[in-house]
C-alpha cells in the first residue's frame, strides 16, 4: 500500500515535471546555445552525463566541442568552461554574473546547508559578509604573520571527535552535491515524503546528515567560546574575530552568527582537501621514485636532519615547491570545482547562456593544457615549473575561479608544503611487497564524484635513518 502510494506520487510528479519541460527556453533571434552532445526529447542529455571518471568525458567534450560545452538535463542548463581564456572572461571579467551558486533540494531544504556553509551560499550580501570575514584572516599578509587555525582546539592524535564529524559532513556533501544522485533534486516535491515511508531512504540519510552538519556548526564553536569564557583560549580565527566584534560598537547582532558559520566553513573546507592533496602526493612518490629522490636531495642540502621544514623554507626549496604545485595539477581534487551559476541571461561569442545555467569551470582539463603546462601533462613532472612561462596551477583553476575562488588557498599551499616537505625529509616512500617479496603494483586511480581523490593503494613509509626517526618522534 505504502509503496504504491510512493509510486503513484512519483508518477504524478513526473508527469507534472515532464509537462513543465515541454516549455522550451526562448533563445533570442540570431543566437544559439553553445555546442554539445545532441539532446534527446524531454530528457535532454540525461543519458550523456558520465556515471564515473567524469573528468575523462568532460575532457573529451572539450576536445570535440571547444571551449564552451552545453548540455540540458531534464530542463536544467549546464555548461562546461574548457579554456583558461573563457574561464577568465566569464568568471573574472563578468564575475558579477557568474558568482552565484546553484543548489539542490537535498543541500538546501533537506540538509539546510546553503544558509551557512560558505561554498554553497548563493552570492548575496550575506555571502559577501561571510567571505569578507574569512578573507580578513586568510589573505596572504594575514597568513604570513601567523598560521591561522580555526578554533584553537588541539586535535586528538586518533579519533578526534570534531575531525571525524567534519569528515562525515564532507562525505554527505560529496554525495548530496553530485548531480543525479538523488531523485528529490529532480522532483523537489519529494521532500514532503515522510521519513518513515518505505523507499524514502533519501529522507533517512538527510535526517542523519543534517545532525552531523548541525554538530559541526555548533560543537567546536561552543567549545572555543567556553575556553574564551574561562580565559584559556588559543590564538585562533574564532578568538580574533570575536574579540574584534566585542571591541566594535558598530557590530551587528548577526556578526557572531557569521563568525560561527565561517569557522565551520573553514574547518570543512580545510580538512579533507589538504589531507587528500597529501594522499595524491604519496601516490605520486610511489609511482615516480626519481622525483622523490631529487626532492630529498634538495631538503638534505638545506636542512639535513637538523630540524623539520617550516614555511620560511619555501623559497629555499624550489624543487619541493614544484612538487607541491605538480600535486595540485596532476589530478584536480575538485575536477570541475564547485559549480558557479549564471544570475542573468548572457551572450558570449554569439552563444546564448540562459539565466540559471550551472557553470562548471573544467579545472581538470585546464590543468592538463600543454600550452600552459608543457608537454606530457599526464606525467607527474615537477621539472615543468622551471620552464619559463609555465603557469601556477593555483592560478589556473586548482582553487577555482573569480569571486568564489578558494578563501583558504594561501593557507592551503603552506599546509601542503609543510606536510610534503616534512614527509620527504624523514620518510622513504616505496611500493609495498607481498609475501614472496614481490612489489605490489600501484595504479594512479581516482574516485568519481564531487571530490576526486586517490583510491586506496598499498605503500610503505619507512624512516630514512635513525636521525630521521628521532626527528619524527620529537617533531610531532
Spell 27-65 as b/e; 16+ CB within 10 A means b. Answer: eeeeeebbebbebeeeebbbebeeeeebbebbbebbeeb
Taking the complex as a whole, how short is the minimal distance between the CB of residue 108 and ligand HEM, in angstroms? Answer: 15
Question: Cβ 272 to ligand HEM, closest distance in Å?
Answer: 9
Distance CA 185, CA 188 (A): 6
- CB neighbour class for 365 (10 Å; exposed up to 12, middle 13-18, buried from 19): buried
Query: Distance (Å, rounded) from C-alpha 453 to C-alpha 303?
Result: 31
Which of residues 101 and 384 has its CB atom nearest to ligand HEM in the complex?
101
Q: Supply the minimum distance, in Å, between the C-beta of residue 353 and ligand HEM.
A: 17
Residue whose C-alpha is closest to residue 265's, from 237, 226, 246, 303: 237
Nearer Cβ to ligand HEM (177/472): 177
Contact 163, 170 (CB under 8 A): no
Contact 335, 364 (CB under 8 A): yes
Q: Which is nearer to ligand HEM, 263 or 424 (CB)?
A: 263
Q: Which is nearer to ligand HEM, 25 or 95 (CB)?
A: 95
Q: How far is the CB of 417 from ligand HEM (least distance, A)?
A: 11
CB of 362 to ligand HEM, least distance (A): 12
Residue partners of 130: CB distance under 8 A and separation at least 6: 118, 121, 258, 261, 262, 265
Angle formed by the axes of helices 237-246 and 255-287, to 10°?
Answer: 160
The residue (of 184 and 414) whose beta carbon lies closer to ligand HEM is: 414
d(CA 178, CA 471) in angstroms, rounded, equals 42
d(CA 328, CA 63): 22
Kindly list the residues in this chain that would bind ligand HEM in the complex (CB under 6 A). 118-119, 131, 134, 265-266, 269-270, 273-274, 277, 333-334, 337-338, 398-401, 404-408, 411-412, 416
Cβ proximity to ligand HEM, 233 vs 337, nearer residue: 337
Query: Which three three-digit cell numbers place residue 67?
Result: 571551449
406 is in an annotated binding site: yes
Reduced to 3 states, what is the DSSP secondary structure of residue 213? helix
Cell matching residue 145: 604573520
Cβ of residue 247: shortest distance to ligand HEM, in angstroms? 24
**Least CB distance from residue 354 to ligand HEM, whole Å?**
20
Cβ distance 291 to 380 under 8 Å? yes
Contact 337, 120 (CB under 8 A): no
Between 104 and 274, whose beta carbon lies closer to ligand HEM? 274
Q: Which residues, at least 6 apart from 389, have a Cβ–Cβ distance to it below 8 Å?
A: none
Alpha helices in 304-408 (DSSP H): 318-330, 363-366, 370-373
Percent helix / strand / coil, the chain, rounded to 5:
50, 10, 40
Q: Considering beta carbons, is residue 134 or 320 the nearer one to ligand HEM? A: 134
Which residue number, 295 or 328, has a Cβ lying nearer to ligand HEM? Answer: 328
Q: Residues forming the annotated binding site?
A: 406
Q: Residues forming the annotated binding site for heme?
A: 406
Amino acid at each position: 500500500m505504502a509503496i504504491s502510494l510512493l509510486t503513484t506520487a512519483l508518477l504524478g510528479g513526473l508527469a507534472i515535471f515532464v509537462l513543465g519541460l515541454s516549455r522550451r527556453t526562448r533563445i533570442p533571434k540570431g543566437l544559439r546555445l553553445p555546442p554539445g552532445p545532441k539532446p534527446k526529447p524531454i530528457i535532454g542529455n540525461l543519458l550523456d552525463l558520465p556515471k564515473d571518471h567524469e573528468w575523462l568525458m568532460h575532457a573529451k567534450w572539450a576536445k570535440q566541442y571547444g571551449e564552451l560545452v552545453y548540455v540540458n538535463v531534464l530542463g536544467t542548463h549546464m555548461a562546461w568552461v574548457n579554456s583558461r581564456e573563457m574561464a577568465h572572461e566569464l568568471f573574472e571579467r563578468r564575475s558579477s554574473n557568474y558568482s552565484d551558486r546553484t543548489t539542490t533540494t537535498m543541500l538546501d531544504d533537506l540538509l539546510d546547508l546553503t544558509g551557512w556553509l560558505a561554498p554553497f551560499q548563493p552570492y548575496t550580501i550575506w555571502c559577501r559578509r561571510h567571505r569578507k570575514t574569512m578573507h580578513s584572516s586568510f589573505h596572504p599578509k594575514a597568513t604570513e604573520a601567523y598560521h591561522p587555525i580555526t578554533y584553537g582546539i588541539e586535535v586528538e592524535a586518533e579519533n578526534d571527535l570534531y575531525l571525524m564529524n567534519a569528515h562525515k559532513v564532507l562525505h554527505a556533501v560529496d554525495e548530496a552535491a553530485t548531480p543525479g544522485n538523488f531523485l528529490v533534486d529532480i522532483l523537489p516535491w519529494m521532500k514532503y515524503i515522510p521519513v518513515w515511508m518505505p523507499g524514502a531512504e533519501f529522507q533517512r540519510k538527510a535526517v542523519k546528515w543534517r545532525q552531523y552538519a548541525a554538530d559541526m556548526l555548533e560543537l567546536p564553536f561552543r567549545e572555543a567560546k567556553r575556553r574564551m569564557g574561562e580565559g584559556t583560549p588559543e590564538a585562533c580565527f574564532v578568538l580574533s574575530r570575536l574579540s574584534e566584534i566585542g571591541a566594535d560598537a558598530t557590530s551587528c547582532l548577526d556578526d557572531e552568527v557569521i563568525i560561527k558559520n565561517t569557522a565551520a566553513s573553514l574547518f570543512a573546507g580545510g580538512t579533507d582537501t589538504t589531507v587528500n592533496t597529501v594522499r595524491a602526493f604519496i601516490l605520486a612518490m610511489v609511482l615516480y621514485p626519481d622525483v622523490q629522490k631529487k626532492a630529498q636531495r634538495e631538503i638534505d642540502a638545506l636542512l639535513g636532519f637538523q630540524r623539520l621544514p617550516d614555511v620560511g623554507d619555501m623559497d629555499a626549496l624550489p624543487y619541493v615547491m614544484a612538487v607541491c604545485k605538480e600535486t595540485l595539477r596532476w589530478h584536480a581534487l575538485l575536477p570541475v570545482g564547485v559549480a558557479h551559476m549564471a544570475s542573468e541571461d548572457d551572450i558570449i561569442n554569439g552563444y546564448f547562456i540562459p539565466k540559471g545555467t550551472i557553470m562548471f569551470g573544467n579545472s581538470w582539463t585546464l590543468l592538463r593544457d600543454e600550452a600552459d603546462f608543457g608537454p606530457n601533462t599526464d606525467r607527474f613532472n615537477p621539472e615543468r615549473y622551471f620552464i619559463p612561462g609555465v603557469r601556477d596551477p593555483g592560478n589556473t583553476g586548482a582553487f577555482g575561479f573569480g569571486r568564489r575562488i578558494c578563501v583558504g588557498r594561501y593557507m592551503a599551499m603552506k599546509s601542503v608544503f609543510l606536510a610534503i616537505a616534512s614527509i620527504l625529509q624523514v620518510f622513504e616512500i616505496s611500493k609495498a611487497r607481498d609475501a614472496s617479496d614481490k612489489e605490489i603494483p600501484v595504479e594512479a586511480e581516482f574516485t568519481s564524484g564531487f571530490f576526486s581523490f586517490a583510491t586506496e593503494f598499498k605503500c610503505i613509509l619507512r624512516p630514512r635513518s635513525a636521525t630521521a626517526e628521532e626527528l619524527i618522534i620529537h617533531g610531532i
